[in-house]
Amino acid sequence: MIRTSRRLADGREILYFDDGPSPSAHEAADTRDLPPVSTHSQLRWDALLGEWVVIASHRQSRTFLPPAHQCPLCPSRPGRPTEIPDADYQVVAFENRFPSLATGVERDVPPSAPGAPLAELRPGFGRCEVVVFTSDHDRDFAELGAARARLVVDVWAERTAELSGIDGVEQVFVFENHGEEIGVTLSHPHGQIYAYPFVPARVEKVLGSVRRHREATGGDLFGEVVAAERSGPRVVAQNEHWTAFVPAAARWPYEVQLFPTRRVPDLPALTDDERDAFVAVYLDVLGRFAHRFDTPMPYIASWNQAPTRARDEWWLHLQLFSLRRAPGKLKYLAGSESGMGAFITDTNPEDVAEQLRAVVLP
């Protein structure tokens, strides 16, 4: 993989990644007249829930569902400059123009929110990047092919390693939102990476379960789950290095988790063979999501990586889930889910696994 670093007109970093020598040196300049990025994010502590909340009100003005001919992630054309100055590219990563977290954020914040001494305030420090999978506006991840998907995996790993090294970053979260129903505001195939200055609530909760299980039984909760699921009734696809299964207590109508056979903390720790094997299983499962109903399912792909200070306790895995529960019907997070965090699922995990296995791939 060849990496080329450049700067956009407002000073943000853009990185081009190629799987071999590129016909372009990626020297095209960003000709736009852009104001400097201004980020006013804050972290506020929810004392009752024991969780950090990011306040990023400046993001209200971000780009929202532009028509294809105005897509900011397509290659630049004469008279039509975009976020990516080159006329063509393979995979690109760049600092988000409307970041929730930024390294250059205002550091001088009050100790607490107005009138709330228990709501501790911190600067919205971190980094948010966009990863663009292809220059083709109309190609989904499921259609990238093995070689391009593998390049994306290598980019995810490279960015994870670099962002994890930033002083103050506690967790690197790689994800893709796919489909307008999910809340996607740009339809060009892309994902994002957040470098958090804290460990998110989900990861804290999983770590707590792992530690309690170890203290109570001496066992490895991650290892026991993976071993059981590899031979269980909810497997959707697997190979020597990866298993994709519907979790026994799935929260989402269609949910698949992908675990490597070997315990690794994060993407950079995967070998070349494990990365190739992941691509094979992942593209298979994405194809099943795309063809389960008459139209492709919207989904979120969420990498669960180790916090930077708890690598020895973690087992890398990917969550892939969709809000679609039936043709033309979505699962809304209504009263119980949104109000109490108590999920009520509309599908049976064993049935979902059987339905996904039965999908005939083109």
| 101-to-172, 224, 261, 358 alpha-carbon distances in Å | 12, 36, 33, 42
Q: How far apart are CA 170 and CA 302, in angstroms?
A: 17
| 109-to-37, 112, 123, 125, 189 alpha-carbon distances in Å | 19, 8, 6, 12, 36
Which structure tokens are listed for 41?
Answer: 């994010």
> Three-state DSSP class for 260?
strand
Q: Hey, what amino acid is at 290?
A: A
Is 137 flagged in the annotation as binding? yes
Q: Is 190 a catalytic residue?
A: yes
Q: Tell me which residue of 35, 155, 149, 32 sits closest to 85, measured CA to CA.
A: 32
Q: Which of 26, 40, 69, 190 is catalytic?
A: 190
Q: How many CA atoms lie within 13 A of 17 on its CB side?
A: 22
Helices (runs of H) and strands (runs of E) counted in the chain: 5, 17
Cβ atoms 63, 186 nearer than 8 A? yes
Q: How far apart are CA 279 and CA 204, in angstroms?
A: 28
> Three-state DSSP class for 77?
strand
Cβ atoms 74, 188 nearer than 8 A? yes
Helix H or strand E encompassing 287: helix 272-291
Cβ atoms 129, 94 nearer than 8 A? yes
Cβ atoms 285, 236 nearer than 8 A? yes
Is 69 flagged in the annotation as binding? no
Is 188 flagged in the annotation as binding? yes
Is 71 flagged in the annotation as binding? yes
Place of tokens 């995996």: 153
* Residues carrying an active site annotation: 190
Binding residues for Zn(2+), by number, are 71, 74, 137, 188
Q: Binding site residues, as ranges?
A: 71, 74, 137, 188
